[in-house]
Amino acid sequence: MAYLKQAQKGTEHIFKGRTYKCIGTEPYTTRDGRQINLALFEGACAVCGGSFTVKTTVDGYERTNAFYTKHCPTHRKARK
Ligand SMILES: [Zn+2]
């Protein structure tokens, strides 16, 4: 099994020049009943600078698509 980086509180991830910071984790039950932890990452909106959070898996957080999100909920809606 490949080694996967694990997110923990304080972990910083830089994606496309934007910094996301892990502010904690929360338990989550997957559709097939497995208990896993999700990491909450906080980023700053590319439009207003307001903070928003995205959720990733703790294991292999770097490989998730969550970091493509770069807007707060308000500006995310406006762009669709
Ligand atoms: Zn915004």
Segments forming the whole domain that contains residue 60: 12-79
Residue 30 falls inside a structural domain: yes
CA of 24 from ligand 1 middle (Å) equals: 22
CA of 53 from ligand 1 middle (Å) equals: 12
Percentage of the chain exceeding pLDDT 70:
94
CA of 40 from ligand 1 middle (Å) equals: 18
pLDDT digits (tens, 9 = 90+) for 25-62: 999 999 999 999 999 999 999 999 999 999 999 999 99
Q: Let me know if 76 is exposed, middle or buried by CB neighbors in 10 A (0-12, 13-18, 19+).
A: middle
Residue 66 falls inside a structural domain: yes
Domains held by the chain: number = 1
Quick one: pLDDT at residue 33?
Answer: 97
What mean pLDDT is predicted for residues 76-80? Answer: 72
16-58-6 Cα angle (round to 5): 80
How many Cβ atoms sit within 10 Å of the Cβ of residue 32? Answer: 5
Q: 80 pLDDT exceeds 70?
A: no
How many whole angstroms from its chain centre is CA 80? 20
Residue 70 falls inside a structural domain: yes
pTM over 0.75: yes
